[in-house]
Amino acid sequence: MRELDLAFTMGDSCLILSQRLSEWCGKGPAIEEDMALTNTALDLLGQARMWLSLAGELEGNSRDEDALAYHRDAPEFKNFLITELPNAFGGSGANTRRDYAYTLVRQFFFDAWHYLQLESLQSHARQGVADIAAKGFKEVAYHVRRTSDLIVRLGDGTDESRERIQTAVNQLWPYTGEMFALNESLRPAWLKFVGDILREATLTMPDANAWMHKAKSEGGSSTEHLGYLLAEMQYLQRTYPQAKW
């Protein structure tokens, strides 16, 4: 994958997932989790800034991180589909409330991939890529430890917590394949790690060869959810494009 595409995919995925996690601020299921999610969102936002700054340099169109975040439309974003799914993904009717199981499983799948991706990128030939990966690696190492622990605790918890986590695993699984369009060689290690955690949590791992949504890098398109997310995230900058703080 070209370095420019890599920078955009990494930056956009971190940015969009950060925005999704921020929706839980003040609404988490417990104070500790509220703070943990907010800190994770801030970590991802910081990494998004670095990746998008690099993307701006590589692109050479005089667009900085703010321009790339706030002045692109949905079709231009290269984030993974799983990062743009709403926190109530899979719910219907009375179940469309925020469901922490979906947020947690989405984060676990992403964190496991993110850890392996940044570990690999630390040896990248371009120093800028390697530096960003090294800076984010320690943060993501904490992220994946935290989500792995929660998956085990809730999967091996009450009947309700196990059912919710398993449902989220099943419904989010078809969105995981896209992450390996960046680096297919990471997939075996990801499958082993995720499989080990799910077994410890007494959960059933879906078929590794199940159907997957088509990656944006392979001609796939965003879900309908991204446009709504961007409308909220970009509102102030779009309304006052010359504003200075």
Give the range of the structural domain holding residue 138, as residue numbers without chain letter: 3-88+97-239
Instruction: Tell whether the model's pLDDT for residue 184 goes beyond 70.
Output: yes
In a domain, 222, yes or no: yes
Q: What is the mean pLDDT of residues 225-241?
A: 92
Q: Which amino acid is at 166?
A: Q
* Residue 24: CATH number of its domain: 1.20.1260.10
Instruction: Tell whether the model's pLDDT for residue 90 goes beyond 60.
Output: no
Residue 4 pLDDT level (bands cut at 50, 70, 90):
very high
**pLDDT, position 92:** 47
Residue 89 pLDDT level (bands cut at 50, 70, 90):
low
**pLDDT, position 33:** 87
**pLDDT, position 93:** 46
Residue 28 pLDDT level (bands cut at 50, 70, 90):
confident
Of 9-23, 39-53, 83-97, 205-219, the poorest mean pLDDT is in 83-97
CA distances from 160 to 2, 101, 219 (A): 44, 11, 38
**pLDDT, position 244:** 65
Q: Which amino acid is at 235?
A: Y
Asked if 198 and 156 touch (Cβ cutoff 8 Å), the reply is: no
In a domain, 148, yes or no: yes
What percent of the chain is modeled with pLDDT above 70?
Answer: 95
Residue 197: closest CA among 100, 84, 109, 97: 109
215 or 198, higher pLDDT: 198
How many angstroms separate the most distant Cα atoms in the chain?
Answer: 54
Instruction: Tell whether the model's pLDDT for residue 10 goes beyond 80.
Output: yes
**Angle formed at CA 132 by CA 17 and CA 143, multiple of 5 degrees:** 45
Residue 35 pLDDT level (bands cut at 50, 70, 90):
very high
In a domain, 69, yes or no: yes
**pLDDT, position 245:** 60
State phi, psi for 84 to the nearest 5 degrees. Answer: -95, -5
Residues in contact with 222: Cβ distance below 8 Å, sequence separation at least 6, in sequence order: 74, 75, 77, 81, 84, 216
30 or 82, higher pLDDT: 82
Residues in contact with 155: Cβ distance below 8 Å, sequence separation at least 6, in sequence order: 161, 162, 165, 166, 198, 200, 201, 202, 203
Structurally, how many domains does the chain consist of? 1
**pLDDT, position 94:** 44
In a domain, 245, yes or no: no
**pLDDT, position 182:** 86
Asked if 121 and 148 touch (Cβ cutoff 8 Å), the reply is: no
What percent of the chain is modeled with pLDDT above 90?
Answer: 80
Q: What is the mean pLDDT of residues 22-32?
A: 86
Q: What is the pLDDT of residues 158-168, one digit of tens each?
A: 999 999 999 99
Q: What is the mean pLDDT of residues 91-118?
A: 82
Instruction: Tell whether the model's pLDDT for residue 173 goes beyond 80.
Output: yes
| Pairwise CA distance, residues 244 & 201, whole Å | 49
Instruction: Tell whether the model's pLDDT for residue 112 goes beyond 60.
Output: yes
Q: What is the mean pLDDT of residues 94-99?
A: 55
- Return the structure tokens found at 73: 């439309």
In a domain, 107, yes or no: yes
Q: Which amino acid is at 128?
A: G
In a domain, 112, yes or no: yes
In a domain, 8, yes or no: yes
In a domain, 244, yes or no: no
